[in-house]
A and B are shown apart, each in its own frame.
Chain A
Amino acid sequence: MSALRILVPVKRVIDYAVKPRVNKAQTGIETAGVKHSMNPFDELSIEESVRIREKKRAPGGVEDICAISAGPAKAQDILRTAMAMGADRGILVETKEGEDLEPLTVAKMLQKAVEQEKSNLVILGKQSIDDDANQTGQMLAGLLGWSQATQASKVEFGEGDTVLVTKEVDGGVETVRGKLPMIVTTDLRLNEPRYASLPNIMKAKKKKLDKLSLSDFGLQNEKRLKVLKVTEPPARTGGGKVEDVDGLIGKLKELGAL
């Protein structure tokens, strides 16, 4: 079986615990001074890659785990986090602050990166919690013509480059057997990401981090979607509290819900 060369795309997003605010101009979300961190699903991707190596789950072994991110200079923070969790090295594809890339552009960039890095397994998060698109992994699989297994909750390796993936689907789980090279996207139940220890954070500072730009991949930031406006959702105001169960039933009947 081929040794694994794993590519793990990670994205810097507004921290999941922060309530995002729409900016005054209604052109986007206020990002200045807001805490950012690694997209939670991408932490699962890094964790899974590291576990595949640590538990020697792949018959051919793991030769390389490379984290890659496209974003502003600050995105190198999350690449360092990925390296502190166990990634061997990082690639930052630097964009201007506030310049977002659409999933199709990211997929095209990753296609080139896969060729450059000779990756045979790409593990991505199932979606980023900012754009909520859930597209990049599938698009990349399409561009490469590779097997894809989305929303994975379990990944096992077999003989002859086969990969058995349990996927979360509507109403339960489904298992598919793919073949390397392959794309896997992670779902919440796949694992529990580790915290990077202080010594590992220190070691990560010495790991290799290459800086590239989109043009190094022969790409431009082509926008197919124009954001016309971003607004707050209609606010819901709580309807107050009732004293007891009878009050609850009464109110629900009044609201026509019972």
Chain B
Amino acid sequence: MLPLARRTVARSAGRLIEGAPALAFRCYTRQRLLSTLAVLEQRDGKLNAGSLSAFTAAQKLGGPVHGFIAGSSVGAAAEEAAKVDGVEKIIVVDNAAYEKGLPENYAPLLVENIKKGGYTHIIAGHTAFGKNLLPRVAALLDSQQISDITSIESENTFVRPIYAGNAIATVESSDAIKIITIRGTAFAAATPESGSAAIEQGVDPNADSPTEWVSEDLAKSDRPDLATASKVVSGGRGLKSKENFDKIMMPLADTLGAAIGASRAAVDSGYADNSLQVGQTGKVVAPQLYMAVGISGAIQHLAGMKDSKVIAAINTDGDAPIFQVADVGLVGDLFDKVPELTEKIKSS
């Protein structure tokens, strides 16, 4: 938060010295009016800790930061979010109608609260929830959303990957209300500590939703969450079957305390669940260690993992493109090498 805020102040000060008071005043006014609403996610009254990344991004903008949370019995989640340092206010709407985050009624709800609070920036994670909801909000406010940003240059300038991460665009928004989704791996989640934000009831327009939630089927796992894990082991077509995938990848993941990911080929062949897909159209991850097993490294896959700190690859094909990005590569049969690796890590 500090460096950027300081720079903005320094910039206004500089202009003042240069003798352009009108400009400096305008700049000051805009700075004063900047305020951000971070849209938080919850499930069954439990705060999604990853959504606190929105606070981190909001604080980089400077200006007051408020949080927004809606659903049935969201009191405890709001109290937890209120502990994030530097957050002024958490706006709460306790109404079961918003529990499942249906955009048909959640978008009008958010729009009413945005108008009431006079926010200039709205931030949510580029997650299934954020992707579904925010563009609808943006359209209702006649604002061109900026998706999946990885960096904030100033209050109106943002950086985002395009073309599956093969290019990085810096864009400047001229909209009065900036609607932004952020890439979670680019902004660490804020931690609830000693903050004491006020908790306030939001306005509830009680819009109808023509869509109703029917059911969900979520993969249950004791392993770390793929999107936020510090280590990820990912399997591809080279594993040849679901049995092999489970037999080879799971012990490795458990030994490392890693989350499991998969390439599109592995998911399409039924080796792994859809929700484990890493890539342009699946999850984007940036762990400390990403180990690619039997994955060739197509550009769509690289889009989802090339910001990992260390990439390791095991593949029989020494010419596979994955080796061009891997910090360490081992050419060999994964059916021999991975169990050996698992054993040696376990015993060391």
Contact = CB atoms under 8 A, between A and B. Distances in A.
Given A19-B166, A255-B310, A228 B172 contact: yes
Interface string A208-252: 000000000000000011111111110010111110111111011
Interface in A131-147: 131-143, 146-147
25 contacts: A29-B167, A103-B144, A133-B145, A138-B132, A139-B136, A151-B128, A164-B214, A168-B128, A169-B128, A172-B275, A189-B268, A225-B146, A225-B171, A227-B169, A230-B169, A231-B168, A233-B161, A236-B306, A236-B324, A236-B325, A241-B323, A242-B330, A244-B330, A248-B337, A255-B310
B206 interface: no
Interface stretch (A54-62, A78-86, A174-182): A174-182
B173 A224 contact: yes
B164 to A, nearest CB: 6
Interface string A70-109: 0000000000000000000000000000000011100100
Interface in B306-336: 306, 309-312, 314, 318, 323-332
Interface residues of A, number: 79
Given A22-B167, A233-B165, A239-B328, 6 more contacts: A129-B163, A134-B126, A138-B134, A172-B216, A228-B171, A258-B345
Interface string A21-39: 0100000010000000000
Given A142-B137, A147-B210, A232 B167 contact: yes
A171 interface: yes
B318 to A, nearest CB: 7
Interface residues of B, number: 90
Contact of A176 (B102, B139, B227, B323): B102
A172 B264 CA distance: 15
Contacts of B344: 245-246, 249
Given A230-B167, A233-B166, A238-B324, A134 B214 contact: no
B167 A231 contact: yes
B289 A258 contact: yes
Given A141-B136, A230-B169, A249-B344, A149 B211 contact: yes
A178 B144 CA distance: 26
Contacts of A149: 211
B139 A138 contact: yes
B189 to A, nearest CB: 15
B170 interface: yes
A198 interface: no
